[in-house]
Amino acid sequence: MKYPINVIAGVSVLLSSPVMSSSFSPAVFGRATAGVKNADRMTLLLRGGGEDASIVSSSAANGGGVALSAVSGGGEVEEAPSTSSSSKVGPNAPPPGPLRRLFPKFPWHELPNYLTYARCISIPIFLGLSYFPVIMPNRAPVLSLLFAMASITDWFDGFLARRWDVTSPFGAFLDPVADKLMVSTALIVLAGRYGGIVAIPAAIIMAREVGVSALREWMAQRGARDSVKVGMQGKIKAALTMVSITLMLLVPEGVGLESVSWTKHLGILGVGGAGSVVEGVVNDGLAWMLGPSLLMLFASAFVTVTSGSVYFRAAAPVLLGKE
């Protein structure tokens, strides 16, 4: 008696699935891998069949490969590639690129979190290198490079998380915290070196971060967090702050504010910048970066105020009890 090809193929797929295999005794049916071998033998029977059918079977949650993917006109059977269980990217992620194909066992879905962890680890390293060792001629370029790499990871981990459709509650919490800790640490170090001319914009930036963070948490408790989500002004502020700090860190120790002509009009704010200078040691760096980096820091403080006001205006109806 002849059975239609789609019935035979359907039975073979059902028997080869891990769910069916685990429902019967291994002595009779074997493990799920034996079911896959049965499906392979059935594939040979299906070759050359004349009826059109479309059969798709997918692995269960244990990461097994696909036994059959399609049987269509002429009986040709194609085997779908099996996906590595370690590459648990989201369903909307694009196909693997060269690196993901080259290292399929690497937990790529954890890479955004790894970058965030690296940024957290860089904070104590940055703080230590700011003062020790005392004699460090290339301190300026090292600190600038370290901060620049941390800033890049702040953008890159978010980019990868969106591209690969991977999120985690801990990563969503730690990412903005690591960003604020790194910026705050660098601003405090620079304020100690240059005095009030950096301390004032640094205080504005840090106060805004604390206020907006508290506002977002409060709005989230009332289910209105979307009204204070990060906008374009916030992104511009973050970019200006990180670029200004990176450039200011390039200025070698010993270059004071007197090297910037317009700071003499600021009174006591225009004095400072000796740093940890050791006699006889020539410090590497770019002295002319001090003026432009200060102007960028002032611009960042201005955008900080305007962007913060946008968030508080958006939350005003809830804050004042009008909603």
* pLDDT tens-place values along the chain, 323 residues long: 544 544 444 444 444 444 444 444 444 344 444 444 444 444 444 444 444 444 434 443 344 444 444 444 444 444 444 444 345 888 888 999 899 899 989 999 999 999 999 999 999 999 999 999 888 889 999 999 999 999 999 999 999 999 999 988 888 889 999 999 999 999 999 999 999 999 999 999 999 999 999 998 899 888 888 888 888 888 999 999 999 999 999 999 888 898 899 998 888 888 877 666 666 677 878 889 999 999 999 999 999 999 999 999 989 988 888 76
SS3 category, 180: helix
Q: What is the pLDDT of residues 294-313, one digit of tens each?
A: 999 999 999 999 999 999 99
Residues 243 and 247: their CA atoms lie apart, in Å, by: 6
Which amino acid is present at 114? Y
Which amino acid is present at 60? A
Q: What is the pLDDT of residues 154-195, one digit of tens each?
A: 999 999 999 999 988 888 889 999 999 999 999 999 999 999
| pLDDT for position 320 | 85
User: Helix/strand/coil (H, E, C) string of 291-319?
Assistant: HHHHHHHHHHHHHHHHHHHHHHHHHHHHH
| pLDDT for position 135 | 86
SS3 category, 77: strand
Residues 38 and 17: their CA atoms lie apart, in Å, by: 10
| pLDDT for position 45 | 41
CA proximity to 215, closest of 294, 315, 283: 315
CA distances from 97 to 29, 102, 103, 162, 164 (A): 39, 9, 10, 16, 11
**C-alpha 256, offset from chain centre:** 36
Which DSSP category does 81 fall into? P
Using an 8 Å Cβ cutoff, are 8 and 42 in contact? yes
| pLDDT for position 231 | 83
| pLDDT for position 123 | 97
Residues 15 and 303: their CA atoms lie apart, in Å, by: 64
Rounded (to 5) percent helix, strand, coil in the chain: 65, 0, 35
Residues 100 and 123: their CA atoms lie apart, in Å, by: 29
